[in-house]
């Protein structure tokens, strides 16, 4: 990003001062710890009030700041743009900057797979275009505008991941970025605590089309009846992917091993695609990405190369080596029943010289369905394939009860969320160099802390 402060002021309908023409803003940040020289500091009001950190922002190189009008203006000793709400002003600035750079926008949502699909889409389109994508978990009402504002001026395609846990969030984000292409990977049970049913989750996911351009395209999972039903109500073109006969891109001959998964696509029957990921379920994400690439007219050979070597955001079904030499499959960023079952199945079939152990943390935001959905994981935990089970949290306790008939006390362990170090100690005492370990849980249970100790 590179804009004069006077231009930013005009975009936010703040009366610019003459000297602001000489102040150049080269980045935007709401976190003083990651702030760089030349930044516009955006103090957000949340659990901690960003306005209280203005001195750190100045010390770290901020040249100007937005300033919410209900705060003491004398505290800001750098040029300040006084606004009624700093978050809304950031979103408004992001919308302005997006229109100025004017890239094609691909917006991606879904209960599972949106991050992986985002990474795949960016890799495919990056073969022919300058691409900017969502980094880490910047997929909400703060992260999306931050991603937009971090675009380089030469960005041709912006690939945006969009998350949500309440009605209205995707509506807001979709209107913010006005996508040319919207993608829905699938409908699962994530955040069912707030929605109650999968039908309502589908309604919320469809909000991604609310800002879709009139000549835009919706790409969605054609195996999902809830989406098929709802897409009939939109005017824009639709494309589908999946495994059923009536989709636009259909996968077949899926073969998965410990390190990669290969598949063919009916529409390109002579081509063999490979993704560097365990689990046949990731083929669905690849089909979504290929659907986007097809719309951008990326040659099939280029898409094959991109998928084979794309970089996956960390902690999404990522193989790592532990301190003892064991193989660790880390999938600790988030979890829900659909995703957990898929990765447990894939891990259970991965080859190993030693034992297979799984560490399962709470799946959060499942509401009144939590007990039933945690218990449902028992159906995919096979004692003939899994040697030991380590469970962490309170929500996961019903699963422990369900597994008592399958595992004895030496091979079934339950820990409170505050007992992670005890879990680590017990797990490390069992691990040998030939073993394999799966870690899967919602981000709120923080199994990344267990992972850190293991590696």
Helix (H) or strand (E) holding 249: strand 249-256
Measured distance CA(447)–CA(359) in Å, rounded: 9
Measured distance CA(177)–CA(447) in Å, rounded: 33
Q: 329 by DSSP, 3-state: which?
A: strand
242 is in an annotated binding site: no
Q: 94 by DSSP, 3-state: which?
A: helix
Helix (H) or strand (E) holding 412: strand 412-415
113 is in an annotated binding site: yes
Tokens representing residue 153 in the block: 């001026």
211 is in an annotated binding site: no
Measured distance CA(287)–CA(284) in Å, rounded: 5
Interior angle at CA 439, CA 434 and CA 445, nearest 5: 150
Nearest-10 Cα torsion for 360, 366, 369, 371: 30
102 is in an annotated binding site: no
110 is in an annotated binding site: yes
Measured distance CA(266)–CA(273) in Å, rounded: 12
Q: What are phi and psi of 76, to 5 degrees?
A: -95, 110
Nearest-10 Cα torsion for 206, 207, 208, 212: 100
DSSP letter assigned to residue 317 = S
114 is in an annotated binding site: yes
Strand partners, 319: 329
Measured CA distances, 243 to 115, 130, 453 (Å): 21, 31, 40
Measured distance CA(287)–CA(271) in Å, rounded: 13
116 is in an annotated binding site: yes
Strand partners, 274: 262
Q: 263 by DSSP, 3-state: which?
A: strand
Q: What are phi and psi of 181, to 5 degrees?
A: -135, 130
Contact criterion met (CB below 8 Å) for 313 and 448 = no
Binding-site residue numbers are 110-116
Annotated binding site for ATP: 110-116
């Amino acid at each position: 990003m590179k804009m004069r402060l006077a231009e930013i002021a005009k975009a936010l309908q703040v009366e610019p001062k003459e000297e602001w023409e000489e102040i150049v803003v080269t980045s935007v940040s709401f976190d003083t710890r990651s702030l760089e020289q030349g930044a516009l500091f955006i103090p957000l009001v949340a659990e901690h009030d960003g306005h209280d950190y203005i001195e750190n922002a100045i010390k770290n190189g901020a040249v100007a700041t937005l300033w919410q009008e209900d705060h003491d203006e004398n505290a800001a000793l750098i040029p300040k743009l006084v606004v009624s709400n700093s978050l809304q002003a950031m979103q408004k600035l992001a919308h302005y900057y997006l229109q100025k750079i004017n890239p094609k926008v691909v917006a991606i949502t879904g209960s599972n797979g949106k991050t992986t699909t985002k990474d795949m889409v960016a890799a495919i389109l990056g073969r022919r275009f300058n691409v900017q994508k969502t980094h880490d978990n910047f997929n909400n009402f703060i992260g999306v505008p931050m991603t937009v504002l971090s675009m380089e001026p030469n960005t041709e395609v912006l690939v945006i991941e969009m998350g949500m846990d309440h009605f209205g969030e995707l509506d807001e984000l979709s209107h913010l970025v006005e996508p040319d292409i919207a993608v829905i990977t699938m409908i699962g049970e994530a955040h069912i605590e707030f929605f109650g049913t999968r039908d309502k989750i589908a309604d919320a996911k469809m909000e991604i089309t609310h800002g879709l351009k009139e000549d835009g395209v919706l790409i969605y999972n054609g195996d999902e009846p809830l989406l098929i039903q709802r897409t009939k109500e939109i005017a824009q073109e639709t494309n589908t992917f999946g495994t059923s006969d009536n989709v636009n891109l259909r996968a077949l001959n899926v073969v998965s091993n410990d390190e990669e998964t290969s598949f063919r696509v009916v529409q390109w029957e002579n081509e063999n695609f490979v993704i560097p990921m365990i689990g046949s379920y990731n083929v669905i994400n690849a089909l979504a990405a290929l659907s986007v690439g097809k719309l951008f007219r990326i040659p099939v050979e280029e898409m094959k190369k991109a998928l084979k070597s794309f970089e996956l955001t960390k902690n999404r079904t990522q193989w790592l080596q532990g301190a003892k030499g064991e193989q660790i499959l880390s999938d600790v960023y988030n979890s829900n029943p659909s995703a957990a079952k898929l990765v447990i199945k894939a891990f259970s079939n991965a080859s190993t010289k030693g034992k297979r152990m799984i560490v399962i943390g709470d799946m959060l935001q499942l509401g009144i369905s939590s007990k039933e959905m945690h218990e449902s994981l028992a159906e995919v935990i096979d004692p003939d394939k899994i040697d030991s089970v380590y469970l962490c949290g309170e929500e996961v306790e019903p699963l422990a009860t369900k597994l008592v008939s399958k595992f004895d006390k030496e091979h079934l362990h339950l820990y409170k969320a505050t007992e992670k170090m005890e879990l680590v100690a017990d797990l490390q005492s069992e691990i040998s160099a030939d073993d394999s370990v799966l870690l899967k849980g919602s981000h709120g249970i923080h199994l990344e802390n267990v992972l850190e100790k293991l590696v």
